[in-house]
A and B are shown apart, each in its own frame.
Chain A
Amino acid sequence: MRRFVNLFQSLDATTRTSEKVEALVDYFTQAPARDAAWAAHVLAGRKVGKAISSTRLRDLVADVAQLPAWLVEECYQAVGDLSETLALLLPPPATPSDLPLHSVIEDFLLPLLASANQEQERRLVAIWQSLDPQSRFVFHKLISTHFRVGAARTLLVRALAQVAGIEQSVMEHRLSGSWKPTAAGFEMLMSAGDDLQVDASRPYPFLLASSLTAEPESLGEIGDWQVEWKWDGVRAQLIRRQGRTFLVSRGQEHVGAAFPEIVQLGGTLPDGTVLDGEILAFENDRPLPFNALQPRLNRKGVEPMLFTDVPVIFLVYDVMEADGIDVRSKPLAERRPLLHELSRACADLRLSPVLEADGWSDIASLMSSARDRGVEGLVLKRRTSRYEVGRPRGLWWKLKVEPYSLDCVLVAAQPGTGKRAGRFTDYTFAVRAGDELVTITKAYSGLTDDEIDEVDRWIRGHIVGRYGPVRAVTPELVFELGFEGIAASERHKCGIALRFPRILRWRKDKPLDEIDTLENARRLLQQHSGTP
C-alpha cells in the first residue's frame, strides 16, 4: 500500500507531465504484478466495488473521532475533499502496517464492500487502525467514488506502454478491453508483441478534435479539408464482431442497453466492423438538444414508451475496422469511400453528411446557420489524416458557435472543493423578474485566479444570510454568463435549465438594473429549444 500511496503523492505533487510519467514508470517497473494490476485498474478509472455512501462514512468518522457532526462539516468546508477530511480527522493509527495493495483490496476492501452494514462498520474501524493518514486518504478514494488522481489516462497509457515496450495505441486498446486485475491479467496487459487474442468488445481510442482559435483561413486550402457539422450528442463506437454488437461511449461505458435500436442497427453490419459516430436524439430531420438524451442515459432498460418519445439515431463519422482489418492508418480520403460502401450494403446506416464548401467564406455562412440547425458548429477534418489516438493537433479542428449569454447578478456563494477549497468559488446567479430576483443557475469556472480572489474578498464583506455552507450576498456584482444550450426544466424554480453555464466576463461596467430578465431567458428558450 505504501508504494501505491507514494505513487499517488508523486502524481499529486507535480504538474509536470514528464515527472508524472516517470513516477508511473517507476511504480510499474517495481511493483509486483498482483499489486500493479490493481493500480492499473483503479488509475484507469475502473470501479472496485459498490461504493459506500459519503454520508455513512462521514457519520462513522464523527463517531470514531468523537466529534459533533457540525464540526465535521466545518472541516469538510475547509478541506474541500471528503476522503481527505475524514483521513485527517481520524485519530492516529494504533498499529500502522504496510500490507501489499492487492491484499488491502482483496482481503479488506472487497469483503468490506460486500458485507452488511454493521459488519461493514466494524471492518472499516479495524482498517483505520492500521493505516496512516495518507494511506487512509487513498483508501477512502477507493471505497467512496471514482478514483481520481492527477494523472490523465493518456499518461497511464504512455507509462504502461513504455514499461511493456509496446506501442501506445496497442496499450490503450488493451486497457479498454476486459482484462482482470490479477497477476495474469496484468501480465497479459504488459505482454510483448501484437494482440492475438482480440477481445470482441474492445473499442479503439477516439480521435478528438481540437478547438480552432486561429482564423479558419490559416488552415490553407479549403480543398484539403472535409467539413461536417459538429453534432451535440454522445460520441460512441458501434462494434460488430464475432456475431455480437457493442455500443461503447467515449467514457468507456457500454451503453447498448439504453439504445437498443442502435444495437439492432449494428446487427445488420458485416462482421468485423467498428464505426465511430454520435448518438443523437433526432426528430423531423433535426437533432433535439442534448438534454433529450438524458432520460435514456439514466436508465438501464428502456420502456417501449420512450421509443416514440425520444427517437435516437447513430450518425456515423468514420470507420476504424472493416472486414476485421484495422483501417485507421488509411487516410480519411480512403476511409470515407469505405463508409459509402457500408451504407450501400446496410441501408439504415446514416452518415454524418459532408458539407459543401468551396471557399472559406462558405465556412462563415455555415457557421451562421449552425445554431438554427441545432448543431454546435463545424468540424474540419484533414483529408489526408490517419485515424490517430487522442487529440493530435492539426488533424481535426472544431469550430463552435458563440455560446448563448445572459447578464446575471451574483446572489449566493459557497466554498469550492479540490483545488478551489477554502475560497468562495461556487456561485449562484439570478436574473430579474419584475421587482424580484430569480435564481437561474450556478456556475463555477471562467474567472482568473486574481478575479476569484477579488470576488472571494468581496463576498466575505457582503454576506447577508447563511444556509449551511451557502452564503447569501448583497446582489451587486454582475457577470455575463455563457452557456451551450437552454431547455425547459421542472426541477428548476425558474423553469429553465442552462447547459454548461460558465462565466464569460465580470461586468464591472453594468449596474444591477441592467441585468437580463427572466423574460429574456424565456425568449431564448422559445427560440432555441430545438422543438420546431
Chain B
Amino acid sequence: MDSLLVESPGGLFCPAGDFYVDAWRGVERNIVSHAHSDHARRGSAHYLAAADGVAILKERIGSDSNVTGVPYGEAVNLNGVHVSLHPAGHVRGSAQVRIENRGRVLVFSGDYKRQPDPTCDSFEPVRCHEFITESTFGLPIYRWPDPTAVAADINAWWRRNVELRRTSVILAYTLGKAQRVLSMLDRDIGPILLHGSMLRMTQVYRETGCDLPPAEHASPERAKAEKGRALVIAPPSAHGSTWMRKFLPISVGSASGWMAVRGHRRRRSVDRGFVLSDHADWPDLLRTITDTAAERVGVTHGYTGVITRFLRDRGADAYAINTRFVGDADDPPESETLASAGAVEADGGTQE
C-alpha cells in the first residue's frame, strides 16, 4: 500500500495530493505545522497553515509570503486528497496535519503537548490509521510537573528576588515559550519587561486575540528604573550578554523541558531551571499514540530510535523518519528541539 507521506529530498511529500508537509526547502505547495524554524522554511510558492498561526508564520518567513489560513477542523481538497488541520497545543497556531485519501487517514503531529497552555488551543487527539509523532523528549526520564506548580515556582522565585533586590531574568524561546511564561506571571509582583527580539512576536500574539499581561521593552532606560524589581524575559542567546549586565544584580532562570535534567541545568549555568516544555513528555507521547488508535506509527524529531524500538518491542508497527536539521550554528535555535544540543540521539547519527 502506498504511504500518504513519503520521505523525499525536500522533506515529507504527499504524492497523491502533490504537496509537502514542513518542507525543508522551497517547494510549490507546503503545509506548515507551526512557525518554528525547524518546521517552517522560507521560499515556497504556496503555504497552508492554521488560521490562528498565519500572522505568526508571516512574521517568520516574510510578510509577502503567500499563506492561506484554514480554521481548525475545516477540510481542504488538494487534488482529491482531504487535508484538515487540528490543534497541536505546541504554540499559538500550531497544527497537526490530517490527510485522508480513499478512506485511509494519516496524521502528522508536528510538535505537540498535552498540558494546558492559555496561549493556544489544546491538543485534540485525531483517530487515524497512521500517526507520525515527534519524539523530542522521548525518554522515560521526562515527566513534566503540573504547569500550575511551575507557575507558582516562577512567581515565588521572582518574589524572593525582589526581596533580595535582584532582577529576575528568565530565558525562554522567542516564539511560544516567552508568551507562555508571560501568561503565567503574577503581575502584582512587579514590572514585566521583554527583550527587544520578543516585542514583535508578543504583539502578534496579542493581535490574534491572546490575552497577556502588559510588558514593556527591556531597554537600557527601563533597566535603570526597574532593575531589582522587574522580571525580564529574554532569549537564551542573551545569556551573559552586555545587555543582560545592565540589570545586575540578577538571578537567571531557564524555562525548558531540558531543565528536568541536572546536567543540562548546570551546563547552561543558570541559577534556576524551570521544567516547562511545549513538547509532550514520555507518558503523554505513549498516551497520544494510543489515543489515535493508529495501526502504524512513524517517529521523527528527537529520540526516534528509542521510541521506535520501544513500540516494536511491544509489537507495534513503528518506523523512524530522519530529520534533516542538525543543530546548525548559523541557524539560531528557536524551538526546544533545535536547542537540544545536549541530547544524544538514541541511534547516534543525527541530532534534531
Closest A residue to B342 by CB, please name it.
A422
**Nearest-Cβ distance from residue B13 to partner chain A, whole angstroms:** 25
Chain B neighbourhood of A75, CB < 8 A: 139-141
Q: In the complex, which of the residues A12, A68, A77, A418 contacts B313, with contact meaning CB atoms closer than 8 Å?
A: A68
Q: Which of B140, B263, B303, B313 contacts A419 (CB 8 A)?
A: B263
- Asked if B261 is an interface residue, CB under 8 A from chain A, the answer is yes
| In contact, B266 and A419 (Cβ under 8 angstroms) | yes
- The residue in A78, A88, A460, A463 that gathers the most chain B C-beta atoms within 10 A of its C-beta is A78
Digitize B304-316: 1 where CB-to-A-CB distance is under 8 Å, 0 elsewhere: 0010011001000
A74 and B264 within 8 A (CB): no
Check B263–A88 contact: CB distance below 8 A: no
Give the residues from 48 to 102 in chain A that come closer than 8 angstroms, CB to CB, to chain B.
65, 67-68, 70-71, 74-75, 77-81, 84-85, 88-89, 92
Q: List A residues 408-464 near B (Cβ within 8 Å).
A: 415, 417-424, 453, 456-457, 460-461, 463
- The answer to whether B344 has its CB under 8 Å from any CB of chain A is yes
A89 & B141 in contact (Cβ 8 Å cutoff): yes
CB-defined contacts of A419 to chain B, threshold 8 Å: 263, 266-267
Least CB distance, B293 to chain A, in whole angstroms: 23
Q: Which of A68, A78, A88 contacts B344 (CB 8 A)?
A: A78
Q: Tell me if B102 is interfacial: C-beta within 8 Å of chain A.
A: no
A423 / chain B contacts, CB cutoff of 8 Å: 341-342, 344
Contact of B141 among A70, A88, A420, A456 (CB under 8 A): A88
Is A71 a contact of B263 with CB atoms below 8 Å? no
Q: How many residues of A contact B (CB 8 A)?
A: 38
Q: How far is A72 from B48 in the complex, measured between Cα atoms in Å?
A: 41
State whether A15 and B269 are in contact (beta carbons under 8 Å apart), knowing that A460-B326, A460-B350 are contacts in the complex: yes
Task: Decide if the interface of chain B is mainly helix, strand, loop or mixed.
Answer: loop
Nearest-CB residue, chain B, relative to A469: B344
Per-residue interface assignment for chain B, residues 322 to 344, with 1 indicating a CB less than 8 Å from any chain A CB and 0 otherwise: 00001100000000000001111
CB distance from B303 to the nearest CB of A (A): 8
CA distance A422 to B269 in the complex (A): 15
* A421, B340: Cα distance in complex, Å: 12
How many residues on the B side are at the interface (Cβ–Cβ under 8 A)? Answer: 31
Cα distance, A115 to B50, chains bound together (Å) = 61
Q: Which of B261, B267, B269, B303 has the most CB of A within 10 A?
A: B261
| B143 interface contact, C-beta 8 A | yes
Complex CA–CA separation, A78 to B141 (angstroms): 9
How near does chain A come to B22, taking the closest CB pair, in angstroms? 22
Partner of A74, one of B262, B306, B326, B341: B306
Contact call A77/B263, Cβ cutoff below 8 A: no
Contact A79 B344 (CB under 8 A): no
Complex-state Cα separation, A79 to B271, whole angstroms: 19
- B346's closest neighbor in chain A, by CB? A74
Are the CB atoms of B327 and A422 closer together than 8 Å? no
Decide: B261 and A78 in contact? CB cutoff 8 A.
yes
Q: Judge whether A13 is part of the interface by a CB distance below 8 angstroms.
A: yes
A279 to B140, CA, bound (A): 49
B287 shortest CB reach to chain A, Å: 15
A14: CB under 8 A from chain B?
A: yes
Taking a contact as CB atoms under 8 Å apart, the answer to whether A88 and B349 are in contact is no
A463 touches B349 (CB 8 A): yes
A453 touches B140 (CB 8 A): no
Say whether, besides A71-B310, A415-B344, A421 and B139 are in contact (CB < 8 Å): no
Which residues of chain B come closer than 8 Å to A79, judged between CB atoms?
Answer: 141, 261-263
Could you say which residues of chain B place their CB within 8 Å of the CB of A456?
341
- Nearest A residue to B327 via CB reads A457
B237-291 interface with A by 8 A CB criterion:
260-264, 266-267, 269, 271-272
Tell me, yes or no, whether A502 is within 8 Å of chain B by CB: no
Which partner residue on chain B sits nearest A14 by CB separation?
Answer: B271
A88 contact set on B, CB distance < 8 A: 140-143, 260-261
Q: Is A466 an interface residue (CB 8 A)?
A: yes
Cβ contacts under 8 Å, B139 to chain A: 71, 74-75, 78
B286 to chain A, nearest CB (A): 12
* Interface status of A471 (Cβ within 8 A of chain B): yes
Q: Complex formed: what's the CA distance from A31 to B187 in Å?
A: 35
Taken residue by residue from 273 to 305, chain A's Cβ proximity to chain B (1 for < 8 Å, 0 otherwise) reads as 000000000000000000000000000000000
Sample of 17 A–B contacts (CB below 8 Å): A12-B262, A71-B140, A74-B346, A75-B141, A78-B139, A78-B261, A78-B344, A79-B261, A79-B262, A81-B262, A89-B141, A92-B143, A420-B263, A421-B264, A421-B342, A423-B342, A457-B326
Write the residues of chain A forming the contact surface with B, with a CB cutoff of 8 angstroms: 12-15, 65, 67-68, 70-71, 74-75, 77-81, 84-85, 88-89, 92, 415, 417-424, 453, 456-457, 460-461, 463, 466, 471
8 smallest beta-carbon distances between A and B, as pairs: A421-B263, A422-B342, A88-B141, A75-B141, A80-B263, A419-B266, A415-B344, A75-B139
Residues of B within 8 A of A (CB): 139-143, 260-264, 266-267, 269, 271-272, 303, 306, 309-310, 313, 326-327, 341-344, 346, 348-351
